[in-house]
Structure 1
Amino acid sequence: MQNRKLSIRKIVSYLNDEESEGGGYWLPNIQRPFVWSPEQMMRLFDSIMREYPISTLLVWKTKDPVKQRRFIDNYHRQIKLTDFYVHEHRRQKMMVLDGQQRLQSLFIGLKGSYEGRQLYFDVTSGQQAAPEDIRYRFAFKDASAATWPWVLFKDIIFNNKLDLQIAKSLVDHAGVTLAEPEWTAVQLNIARARQEFVNNDNITFQELDSVDNDEAYKIDDIVEIFIRANSGGTKLGKSDLLFSLLTSSWDEADSEIEDLLSKLNRSGFAYDRDFVLKSCLTMLNRGARYEVGKFRDGKTKEEIVEKWSELSKAILATHDLVQTGTYIRSDKAMPSYLALIPLIYYRYHYPELFKANSQLPDYILRVLVVGAFGGNPDTLIDRIVKSIQEHGEFVLNEVFGVIRESGRSLEITPHVIFDQAYGSREIHLIFNLWYRAFNYHPAYNGNIPSVDHIFPQSLLRSVKTINPDTGRRNMMKYHQAVRDQIANCMLLTADENGAAGKTDIPPKEWFARWRFKSDAEHEKYLDLHLIPRDPALWELNRFEDFLEARKALIQEKFAYMLQKAEG
């Protein structure tokens, strides 16, 4: 193992370039997806400008025909890693084992874009700031929105003119006249950028050489090194490590799991790789808990590969049950995907019984409404699986007994519903059951229904009460918990809640008869949203009476669920 150094501009130029030194730098298939946010990326560039050190990278030089992929240049959230795969070959290449997030951020910032926006730099920034604050300002912007002092950062870095010439060119192009302090700041920032990104060898990496010594590092050694190098990194959980072990012996793991997730999420859900791996472990009777040892023995990996077709069918069938057996139609209404894993186990081992069991939707709704799978539910999942094994069936009362014995409540009382608040997943779950005719996964995301306040927040904030300490009427009467409760919320279509929609319109105007074409249409709207018919309750001074009247209507609507909680 040897340490090497390169400038940032040089190593970025080597990414994805097989004609460059060492055969170019690539990502092995065991690497996770890119996860950094724009804020993290901008902080990296700020840190480099502040001369903060970059942690040492880890690179494997090899000629082995390992599965690899290119670094992403133009990043989009819906990007597919399979689009970046490179054909396996026996030519020399440099595989990045540790440092992907940093190199990928540098590549996007200097060579590509993030969601169609390129990286710009405020060339007048750089004033003294606290260590935790941003000193050098970077941002991903559309070209049309990038006005002075924002300049395209790569135009500074990939430029062979002198620093002063670059500064003059940028100012001339912007057509601005600068005062002496601004002109000085521009020159200093360009000089600093060129020094840190072009001239200094700021990238240090350790090189594992399997070319000059082909016996030094085998693929199993590399996987183990990768796991140890990354196990302390941010956002790299045990599921990522397990996936690394899985992909080392299953070349199609990435594409197969990505294809499954694409099918699951095409209708507005957000299943992820963690969920798939935990489901597989559970179905194969390995327990729900992530443990690297489960994949090191080789048997688990072999079983997943061998039984993948049936494993994935069980996951898809359970997802279909969610969509057809309940009215849950989007990620917003899924407080916990983990509640589905016992059902996935049941479908995998008892497919015919699964199809015939009419109690499964009741299980899904009950455990999601009460939040039975909150916290760390691995032990609960294993106990429910044990119940299924003992009975050879998913017996609802037995499963509920297991959940209660685990100290988790299943009682759907009125308070369980009334305690749901604006912004929570549980309120979206309740509204999915309430507003069954709404389209929760339109073609355009901007058309997704949204939760809004009936009595606008701005209106309620204006109501003051007597301050007991001063005797003055200057204390807010209705705090956030009161304003955000479900009795003051309704679900609106995108048109209703858009720029020309409800916004801050008070209920006495929003529900007024004159807004509707007929009495029937007016009454239908009030019934849909469970609005008390008495217009007097729509006045601000009757807000508390409105809440009580609407709670009674909500409780009546969900009586079928509350009654089931008795059993």
Structure 2
Amino acid sequence: MSYKPKTLFRLIDDINSSIFLPHIQRLFVWEEEQMLRLFDSLMRNYPIQTLLFWRTTDEIKARRFMSQVEWDADLSDYYEPSVSKAGHDKVFVLDGQQRLQTLYAIFAGALTLESGARAEAYYDVTSGETSTDTGLLHSLKFSPTTLPLPWYRIADLMGKDAQKVAEELSDDLNDELDKIDAATVSESRPADEEQRARRKRVRKNFGQLVRLLREETHFWVQELDGVANKFPYRTVLDIFVRVNSGGTKLDASDLMFAAMKEGWDEIEEAIEETTELLNSTNLSFDKTFPLKCLLVVHGRGAEASPEKFAGADGAKLLQDMKAGWDRAEQAFQELRDFLKSDLKVYADKVVRSYNSFIPLFDYIYFNPKPNERSKALMRGYYYKSQLFGWYSQSTDSVINGLHGVVGKACGLGFPMNEVKQYFNSRGMAAELQKGHLDQTRLRFILLNLVYVDQMGSSPFDVKFKGNEPHIDHIYPRHALLTKLGLGSGEVNTIGNYRFVGATDNIRKRAELPDSYFGRLKAAGSPIEKHLLLKSFSDDTGRLVFDVPTYRRFRDERAQRVWEICYRTVNPENGKFPA
């Protein structure tokens, strides 16, 4: 095993030419905030841990890094058949995918905005003096358009500015900023002392950027050389599971099945059939999910590891699993029916954590065939878990904690109040408040909830892949901003959002609502699916394009959405508050 420094320039240059991802790596899961935090850490010269690579010529399915990050990408689009073949020398990333993909997007790629636009990374080279509200010193943002100074396009460091040294880069940019300062009116022109401080920060920031990219002091790689030495796939898989056990949970099922088959040779087939059953809802469960469910209900905790199936205790666990399989199989069937018929969850877009389903299985296992009241509370639990990020950290410990609440016979039905107390004790929200409806990242979940409640089906239950719904403005966003002069806070609101199929979204025009919905209605299209209030759907002429009408429409519709969401997410509270 070798341990050596690498320049970031070399790492990025090798990505998708010699460095790839193995099929056991799952999709990129970091959110934009985590990407910004990694960049801030590097600019502060904080260590970011060693990267772990594996060099091999084995036949292992290889996947490219994304040159443009898509959080809901189809992994099959990124596989490289020629690289995957036996005999092809390649290097796989075992630990460091999230960091490397982030750096690749910042320094040489981009990410995809919710609108679908390509956005590149820009850095405010004058930042670094004071922290933001989120604790970041260095300001980075992804933008679909070129940003003015002092924002610098980071990809230029590997492009047009690749031959420039830090001093030249900082001098050029400082000169441009000096010109801007000189052109400002005297009362707003920075003082000489402020200008000197700014020039110093720019020099310091460019110095760090160039060092990060070109010096062998920031990135260290441990490489398992499976060509020169013996690092077979099973050994590497074991290492892979262990090094990732503290981060995003990955599918360790392949290794665990190898440890389990001596005790129950049919378990892999049973788990595969269960996974296929759960995925009939168009979700993307992996084989680790049912294994974790089984571990939990048998009192072994949610942490999935091969060690749990070793020795006498492992043999006893397998014996218990095999003896109780009929009961577990029935619980998995009931969970699948609940997902499909009650939650109507059909897309990863509205699922922030698959682990949230494990306590539901745990409850059903010990309380089969829940009544309608319990199902309503289970729906409330599910939406709370997604909206409030109950499984955003310490996932396995959360599941283990809830096992003591739901993993037993509950004579009074699903124990929502005890579940809420558990999360309140962890300092997390447990009841939907009206302010939650304004959080951008919750739009898909909240709208899907409303559509399911009002239409009895999910808009994500589509026949054709690629026609999943987009979020659209009922009153056109651009017209509200430019013609009525409203601010984005009044325009980008749940009261003005709807779902529209991707194909229709591409075809539609920026038509005013009275004309658009009047035309659809005249053509016999059921405009109720757009969740217009009855008074407006009965008479589309009421959708006048002026500020008072828009605000009345938006506020009345937002209130109706709030009532539906409150009733669904907080069923334990009974009636909607007056």
**What TM-score do you get using the length of structure 2 for normalisation?**
0.55
Task: Select the residue among 188, 209, 224 that pairs with 2:225.
Answer: 209
TM-superposed CA distance for 1:155, in Å, is: 0.5
Q: Which amino acid aligns with 1:264?
A: T
Task: Select the residue among 160, 164, 170 that pairs with 1:162.
Answer: 164
In structure 2, do the counterparts of structure 1 residues 93 and 273 end up closer, same or farther at CA, with 3 Å as the change threshold? same
**What TM-score do you get using the length of structure 1 for normalisation?**
0.56
1:530 aligns with none
1:400 aligns with 411
Task: Select the residue among 101, 104, 120 that pairs with 2:101.
Answer: 104
Task: Select the residue among 336, 343, 365 that pairs with 1:319.
Answer: 336
Pair 1:226 & 2:251 matched: no
Pair 1:3 & 2:3 matched: yes
**Identity %, equivalent residues:** 22
2:393 aligns with none
Q: Deviations over 1:323-380 (max 9, x none)?
A: 4357889959999533541587699xxxxxx9xx7x6545422445589999956587
In structure 2, do the counterparts of structure 1 residues 432 and 365 end up closer, same or farther at CA, with 3 Å as the change threshold? farther
TM-superposed CA distance for 1:53, in Å, is: 3.2
In structure 2, do the counterparts of structure 1 residues 185 and 319 end up closer, same or farther at CA, with 3 Å as the change threshold? same
1:189 aligns with 205
Q: Which amino acid aligns with 1:324?
A: S
Structure 1 residues 122-161: aligned runs within 5 Å: 122-129=123-130, 133-143=135-145, 146-158=147-159, 159-161=161-163
- CA distance in structure 2 between the partners assigned to 1:313 and 1:559 by the alignment: 27
In structure 2, do the counterparts of structure 1 residues 11 and 325 end up closer, same or farther at CA, with 3 Å as the change threshold? closer
- CA distance in structure 2 between the partners assigned to 1:186 and 1:230 by the alignment: 37
Tell whether the 8 Å contact from 1:340 to 1:364 is kept in structure 2 after alignment.
no
Structure 1 residues 167-182: aligned runs within 5 Å: 177=180, 181=196
Q: Deviations over 1:143-180 (max 9, x none)?
A: 2x522222210102343333365557768999964666
- CA distance in structure 1 between the partners assigned to 2:572 and 2:180 by the alignment: 72
Pair 1:290 & 2:303 matched: yes
Q: Which amino acid aligns with 1:446?
A: I
Greater Rg over alpha carbons, structure: 1
1:365 aligns with 376
In structure 2, do the counterparts of structure 1 residues 109 and 424 end up closer, same or farther at CA, with 3 Å as the change threshold? closer
Tell whether the 8 Å contact from 1:27 to 1:96 is kept in structure 2 after alignment.
yes
- CA distance in structure 1 between the partners assigned to 2:434 and 2:235 by the alignment: 50
Structure 1 residues 329-344: aligned runs within 5 Å: 337-341=357-361
Alignment gaps of 5+ in structure 2: 183-194, 262-267, 391-396, 421-429, 438-444, 461-467, 475-493, 500-511, 514-533, 543-562
In structure 2, do the counterparts of structure 1 residues 127 and 260 end up closer, same or farther at CA, with 3 Å as the change threshold? same
Q: Which amino acid aligns with 1:422?
A: K
Pair 1:55 & 2:44 matched: no
Matched position secondary structure for 1:446: strand
Tell whether the 8 Å contact from 2:119 to 2:143 is kept in structure 1 after alignment.
yes
TM-superposed CA distance for 1:71, in Å, is: 2.0
- CA distance in structure 2 between the partners assigned to 1:248 and 1:70 by the alignment: 28
Tell whether the 8 Å contact from 1:288 to 1:382 is kept in structure 2 after alignment.
no
1:494 aligns with 497
- CA distance in structure 2 between the partners assigned to 1:175 and 1:248 by the alignment: 66
TM-superposed CA distance for 1:209, in Å, is: 2.3
TM-superposed CA distance for 1:84, in Å, is: 2.3
2:425 aligns with none
Q: Which amino acid aligns with 2:8?
A: I
- CA distance in structure 1 between the partners assigned to 2:26 and 2:469 by the alignment: 29
Matched position secondary structure for 2:54: strand
2:255 aligns with 245
Matched position secondary structure for 1:194: helix
Pair 1:198 & 2:214 matched: yes
- CA distance in structure 2 between the partners assigned to 1:160 and 1:433 by the alignment: 51
Task: Select the residue among 80, 87, 90 that pairs with 1:90.
Answer: 87
Matched position secondary structure for 1:46: helix
In structure 2, do the counterparts of structure 1 residues 221 and 420 end up closer, same or farther at CA, with 3 Å as the change threshold? closer
Q: Which amino acid aligns with 1:245?
A: L
Matched position secondary structure for 1:59: strand
Q: Deviations over 1:242-267 (max 9, x none)?
A: 34735999999xx999988875356x
In structure 2, do the counterparts of structure 1 residues 289 and 494 end up closer, same or farther at CA, with 3 Å as the change threshold? same
- CA distance in structure 2 between the partners assigned to 1:367 and 1:140 by the alignment: 38
Pair 1:78 & 2:72 matched: yes
Q: Deviations over 1:156-206 (max 9, x none)?
A: 234333336555776899996466645665455334322321244422112
TM-superposed CA distance for 1:75, in Å, is: 0.9
In structure 2, do the counterparts of structure 1 residues 262 and 338 end up closer, same or farther at CA, with 3 Å as the change threshold? closer
In structure 2, do the counterparts of structure 1 residues 325 and 90 end up closer, same or farther at CA, with 3 Å as the change threshold? same
Tell whether the 8 Å contact from 1:157 to 1:198 is kept in structure 2 after alignment.
no
Tell whether the 8 Å contact from 1:111 to 1:154 is kept in structure 2 after alignment.
yes
Tell whether the 8 Å contact from 2:65 to 2:78 is kept in structure 1 after alignment.
yes
- CA distance in structure 1 between the partners assigned to 2:352 and 2:48 by the alignment: 41
Q: Which amino acid aligns with 1:240?
A: L
Tell whether the 8 Å contact from 1:65 to 1:90 is kept in structure 2 after alignment.
yes
Q: Which amino acid aligns with 1:103?
A: L
Matched position secondary structure for 1:106: helix
Q: Which amino acid aligns with 1:341?
A: F
1:38 aligns with 32
TM-superposed CA distance for 1:224, in Å, is: 2.8
Tell whether the 8 Å contact from 2:275 to 2:286 is kept in structure 1 after alignment.
no
Paired residue total = 431
- CA distance in structure 2 between the partners assigned to 1:213 and 1:328 by the alignment: 47
